[in-house]
Structure 1
Amino acid sequence: MHELAVAQALVEQVDAVIDQHNATAASLIRVRIGPLAGVVPELLGSAFPLAAAGSRMERAVLDLVTAPIKVHCQTCGAETEAAMNRLICGACGDWHTQVISGDELLLESVELETSTAHPSPLTPPHPNV
């Protein structure tokens, strides 16, 4: 399953973010996926708990955000949304377009947990008996 490899790479990337910010864990991971990215969001959502098991993000919520397909028309210059199998300009109908959104797979944000453990209060020494 391709999505399992993507989930494993995501775990590695989030682990690096956790280290970079001296956090203890991740609680929310937001990923932006375009329909042209070649990743099925439902399968990635199913694969993520397997990849994250035993890691510092095993309890994290994976929020998958769908990015719209947008194209830039090379004829009229418009930027419009397009359909998956119909990458034409929404303004003039020309097919000379360039995809500007919808093919991405991006780690958009990570909410981190930091250690809230405080040193225990000093215990008075026990009297010698």
Structure 2
Amino acid sequence: MHEFSIVQSLLTLIEDYARENNAKSVTKVVVSIGVLSGVEPHLLEMAFNTFKEGTVAEKAELIMEIEKLKIKCMDCGKESEKEELNMLCPGCGSLNTQIISGQDMFLKSLELEVD
């Protein structure tokens, strides 16, 4: 379950950012998770709730924004947001497409409580 190592890295980022901004705690953590990122949201939430104890994010709420797959067709130029997880262009049917978004996970924002 790679979500544990992802959360450990996420908590390191959170701790560093909180320290740099003299925050006494973090109240909200917002992450963006692409549907092709390989991250399972329910496992990420479970890992976050387990590992946040004893950290500056101990009382933080985790908000996960799921990012849909967005592709661009290299044949017709159409950009599409896909409901299904395939690379087929809905405009012309080509498979000559490129992923624009939906394959990454990143820390989007934090709410900090400062002294």
TM-score by length of 1: 0.85
1:92 aligns with 2:111: no
**How far does the alpha carbon of each residue in 1:72-94 deviate from its partner, in whole angstroms, 9 at most, with x for none?**
1100111101221x111122121
Counterpart residue number, 2:27: 27
Quote the Cα distance in structure 2 between the aligned partners of 1:104 and 1:59.
Answer: 26
| Mapping for residues 64-83 of structure 1, pairs under 5 Å | 64-82=64-82, 83=84
| Mapping for residues 1-129 of structure 1, pairs under 5 Å | 1-82=1-82, 83-84=84-85, 86-115=86-115
CA RMSD, 1 decimal: 0.9
Aligned partner of residue 100 in structure 2, secondary structure = strand
Aligned partner of residue 68 in structure 2, secondary structure = coil
Which amino acid in 2 is paired with 1:55? T
**How far does the alpha carbon of each residue in 1:47-99 deviate from its partner, in whole angstroms, 9 at most, with x for none?**
10111110000100000110010001100111101221x11112212110001
Aligned partner of residue 25 in structure 1, secondary structure = strand
Higher RCO structure (Cα 8 Å, ≥6 apart): 2
Unaligned runs of 5+ in 1: 116-129
Structure 1: which 4+ aligned runs deviate by more than 3 Å?
A: none
Quote the Cα distance in structure 1 between the aligned partners of 2:24 and 2:93.
Answer: 51
Which amino acid in 2 is paired with 1:23? A
Contact 1:81 1:90 in 2 (8 A): no
Quote the Cα distance in structure 2 between the aligned partners of 1:41 and 1:28.
Answer: 16
Identical pairs, percent: 36
**How many residues end up aligned between the 2 structures?**
114
Which amino acid in 2 is paired with 1:78? K
